[in-house]
Amino acid sequence: MASQTIESISISEDGLMTDCRIHLSSLWTSMSEEACVCSDPLVRSLLNTGIRSHSDFSSALAALLGRKLGDQSVSSASMTELAQECFLDCPDVVCDAGADLAAIRDRDPACTDFVTPFLFFKGYHAIQAYRVAHWLWQAQRRYLALHIQSRASELFGVDIHPAARLGRRILFDHGTGIVIGETCVIEDDVSILQGVTLGGTGKHHGDRHPKIRRGVLIGAGAKVLGNIQLGEGARVGAGSIVLEAVPPYTTVVGNPARKVGTRHTNLPSLTMDQTLPAIDYMI
Over residues 130-149, the mean pLDDT reads 98
The answer to whether 178 and 192 have CB atoms below 8 angstroms apart is yes
Which pLDDT band, with edges at 50, 70 and 90, does 100 fall under?
very high
Binning pLDDT at 50, 70 and 90, where does residue 276 land? Answer: confident
Pairing of strands 257-262, 250-254: antiparallel
- Which one, of 4, 5, 28, 24, lies nearest residue 16 by Cα? 24
Q: Residue 264's pLDDT is what?
A: 59
Which pLDDT belongs to residue 13? Answer: 39
Spell out the residues 6+ positions from residue 168 whose beta carbon is closer than 8 angstroms to its own: 95, 96, 99, 100, 188
Task: Give the C-alpha separation, 26 to 247, whole Å.
Answer: 38
Q: Which of 56-70, 79-93, 256-270 has the lowest mean pLDDT?
A: 256-270
For each of the domains in the chain, give its residue range(s) and CATH number, in order of start: 1-157 (1.10.3130.10), 177-283 (2.160.10.10)
Please determine, for residue 279, whether its predicted confidence score (pLDDT) is greater than 80.
no
Question: Taking residues 255-272, what's their average pLDDT?
Answer: 86
Quick one: 110 exposed, middle or buried, by C-beta within 10 A (0-12, 13-18, 19+)?
exposed
Average pLDDT over residues 25-47: 89
Provide the whole-model pTM.
0.90
Residue 125 to residue 46: CA distance in whole angstroms: 17
pLDDT in tens, 109-129: 999 999 999 999 999 999 999
